[in-house]
Structure 1
């Protein structure tokens, strides 16, 4: 999909730095980006589709810079590493964690970040030095940080990546497109959603173990991650568990879903189910990122769309109190909870505490890998 950039429209003119540039607004200029420099830049996981196309055809790109440039979420930027902090590695397009060094040039995407265990960060209003707030390749400005994390790795944006149509965005090069608003998904198999009390409550592992258990039962399972921050860890985990197909929001061109218009979040949910259902699997397992108090997640739980598409949920909790609160909140929202799992089940004592307080079954995360357990949950999904 090619999108014409209309933020800084103007006719072409001569670029003093060489090549052709647009006659842009005052304080904004462009210069040609040498193919060798573009290819040599370390591309991040979030920019993998852009980097893949650039590797095949690295000519015709430019860098847009200047004080008048206002980046937006999803814009691709060439940046220089200034100082190493919390994120010491950059996840590559093939999900390799490459060690970063000061002075290196990296290709990342602007995006907002919501991570209670790390950073709250927002896209800055200029190409000022900012932060690498996620190893998957997210440029942003930290507003708040957890007390236990290091200061963010600092980067210096050099310029937004441009081609003949304007600023290159992740949506331009994404392999999947959102279904139109209001599209009804038909023919979908049973859909499980895995939610959690917070970050690091065991959602991804719970989802992967359910995928593995259903696969062990001889079923074809597809998996997706609807919301979150772009990274390859969970996608690869679902593949390792046996999922026949795995997609996430980055395949639709989103570096992160935080601060995304809610109507687009709904379209992401519908689109993910629609794409995965198109392959005809026996079941679909979805992960919904962060905790159930996170803005987009909280709204989804109350949305009729979620209730139409999702047959049942598993809730991952860190402790017994989280299990109790999550159970109550989901039931009050009308969401069916098939079982409680996650980090709480790593402690027999904590699991016993939870079992005494919630009506749902407590199932050990790795017990979900048993075909009898997983197929039993499938039989109940949507009843």
Structure 2
């Protein structure tokens, strides 16, 4: 079977969705030279935690031993699943994320299965013998222009309710008549959040994979900041009035901690929503943010599912707790837009 046939039959993952496949001309097995973002052709060896991969089309695909898959070399930090680094061992590698991140697992949450094992077959090269990398297909920075205001969404941890809050605030703003951009500034490439933003009616959806990174874990802060600026500028270019921006993981995660401690972040956002699981998390998170000069406009997340927990959180922080229904409400969303500096628009 030719390389072209193999690549045609392979399952290309979500993280590769911007790649021009015609650029691939050859492969090599110099895996020691693989860098974050390099495309890797691998075969499924033994199924573990991930038994599906996410396709660029936006649907999941079952994988089976022997299947060929194209992914990007990358790291991952997910306390609920794995920590992994961007290394490719020719004897065997790990599927770190179903969106298409291959690397070496270094830690695993004990509640989940070991990583699905992969056998690397080749590093994809272009006609000049250079590694094909996601960065080659990234959005180009836009010329300086007035950027839309940004509402940031932070949380205490994975699965604290950040993505739902982002999507529901997008929905509320869209119902209020605003053209909304939704971006994910950090994390590991996957279509779940991307699709949820789109389903909520965002006019533009983008994430760090559009800026050339399969993951932001262990990436330099300056690169993440530049990527975020590019995504916000792209949303403005697409006609968005306002942007809702999710920052992945919790306040103490490496990249998130660096971002929110940088004065750049405070200058970037015009509003802030904090997602948390309970009143103690709310009090601790708000206190931590205040030391950085950041004051949330409201709390949300899992805490909002319980009226009792919400009352505790509000008493501890003095902040209103918003449910997903509140965030979806055009009147509530318009309040965020007004605080961000936008005038009222006719409801859609």
- Relative to the length of structure 1, the TM-score reads 0.85
The answer for unaligned runs of 5 or more in structure 1 is 1-31
* 1:382, distance to aligned residue in structure 2 (A): 6.3
In 2: Cα distance, 1:178 partner to 1:72 partner: 23
Instruction: Quote the residue 1:48 is aligned against.
Output: 17
Q: How do 1:236-251 and structure 2 match up within 5 A?
A: 236-251=195-210
The answer for unaligned runs of 5 or more in structure 2 is 343-348
In 1: Cα distance, 2:115 partner to 2:276 partner: 28
RMSD: 1.8
Greater RCO between the two (CA within 8 Å, min separation 6)?
Answer: 2
In 1: Cα distance, 2:32 partner to 2:287 partner: 47
Native 8 Å contact 1:206 1:316 kept in 2: yes
Native 8 Å contact 1:311 1:336 kept in 2: no
In 1: Cα distance, 2:146 partner to 2:15 partner: 31
Q: Choose 148-157 or 297-306, whichever is displaced more.
A: 297-306
Q: Is residue 46 of structure 2 the alignment partner of residue 77 of structure 1?
A: no
* 1:321, distance to aligned residue in structure 2 (A): 1.1
Instruction: Quote the residue 1:193 is aligned against.
Output: 152
Q: Is residue 270 of structure 2 the alignment partner of residue 306 of structure 1?
A: no
Q: Could you give the per-residue CA deviations for residues 296-350 of structure 1, whole angstroms, max 9, x where no partner exists?
A: 1111112121122111110010111111111111122111311000111112221
* 1:128, distance to aligned residue in structure 2 (A): 3.3
- Relative to the length of structure 2, the TM-score reads 0.93
Could you list the structure 1 runs, at least 4 aligned residues long, displaced by more than 6 angstroms after superposition.
none
Instruction: Quote the residue 1:36 is aligned against.
Output: 5
Q: Secondary structure at the match of 1:290?
A: coil
In 2: Cα distance, 1:268 partner to 1:35 partner: 32
Native 8 Å contact 1:320 1:350 kept in 2: yes
Q: Choose 125-134 or 291-300, whichever is displaced more.
A: 125-134
Q: Could you give the per-residue CA deviations for residues 18-41 of structure 1, whole angstroms, max 9, x where no partner exists?
A: xxxxxxxxxxxxxx9521111111
In 1: Cα distance, 2:213 partner to 2:91 partner: 22
In 2: Cα distance, 1:125 partner to 1:86 partner: 19
In 2: Cα distance, 1:382 partner to 1:203 partner: 23
Native 8 Å contact 1:127 1:159 kept in 2: no
Instruction: Quote the residue 2:113 is aligned against.
Output: 150
Q: Which has the larger radius of gyration?
A: 1
Native 8 Å contact 1:178 1:252 kept in 2: no
Native 8 Å contact 2:73 2:88 kept in 1: no
Instruction: Quote the residue 1:12 is aligned against.
Output: none
